[in-house]
Structure 1
């Protein structure tokens, strides 16, 4: 990313944060001890930014200089999942490890498994939606067929087992911490 592109992003951040707070140019200028015309020229790119100004602007906006000038890239937003095989399932982690929401989001591909494991029980809730194929969900004494586009949510204190039905199936799933520990053994989160 060029210096001009970085400066453009910083200018957009300054203006965006100012507007999000409902502040006029005069309000922010007074808070960072700049003239409104200087601040306007900084926001529009008609004046080069200097470090002292950026420090004062960041402080006035309630952010850090690092956050204000952080370069844009895709590494902070794009997750490149690597497949991990666990038993008869392949799992792609779609959330950052130890996600700030306390959940693990993933895509799971199940193939028909003739050595069906036993249903599991653990604290918490699970949610999944079928992307392709069909899933046979054993939930206590019930068996539920879940088709593409359908979603289920259930208490994991009920014995449960997900199996591919008549061919491979893919699901998008959300595990809480207990579900992650139960279904992804050996998968370590920090």
Structure 2
């Protein structure tokens, strides 16, 4: 429990400052002296419910908002997907509203069949050359180039040349279903 209370002062200071209040402002509103608030924020005074209730009431937050919560592991741990020689590495959690992938297209890849779906896609070429067929346009994107397009336009991508093409691709949930979930098998 002491570990959970360790950051109460830091969080309290952050909330107070986000309101634009000085120690005196919060002291006047909560009835807790400015010196007590200062000691509480610096960790020199132990937090107690008797102190926290009037303070949190004035700040418009709950006592629980000041107590350390378990920080979830931010690492993305999802299996790599291989489909038709393309390596797809998820870079965002499955529950994310925006899906991000690192995709490696094999060299001399055949351009797959053009597809359409709702949404939009953004791609950034990390290495190699990417052939992007977008409607009637046949584009070659090189390292450092990006493209954003409406995925209702028929589109497909593959590596151009004898080297793999690596890209970062970002799309919405519909795009994720079309690009990585349909007929994909996992390693």
For CA contacts below 8 A with separation 6 or more, give which structure has more relative contact order: 2
CA offset at residue 171 of structure 1? 1.0
Give the TM-score normalised by the residue count of structure 1.
Answer: 0.81
Gaps (5+ residues) in structure 2?
none
Contact 1:134 1:169 in 2 (8 A): yes
Query: The residue matched to 2:125 in structure 1 has which SS?
Result: strand
1:24 is matched with: 22
Q: Which stretch has the larger CA shift, 12-21 or 29-38? A: 29-38
User: Aligned ranges for residues 139-154 of structure 1 at < 5 Å?
Assistant: 139-154=134-149
CA offset at residue 72 of structure 1? 6.2
Contact 2:105 2:165 in 1 (8 A): yes
2:126 to 124, 131, 144: 131
User: Aligned ranges for residues 31-180 of structure 1 at < 5 Å?
Assistant: 31-71=29-69, 73=71, 75=73, 77-99=74-96, 102-112=97-107, 114=109, 116-166=111-161, 167-180=163-176
How many residues are treated as equivalent by the alignment?
182
Cα distance per residue 1:20-71 (max 9 Å; x no partner):
1101112223444422222111011221111343344344333333332124
Query: The residue matched to 2:13 in structure 1 has which SS?
Result: helix
CA separation of 1:67 and 1:182: change in aligned 2, threshold 3 A: same
Q: Which stretch has the larger CA shift, 63-72 or 147-156? A: 63-72
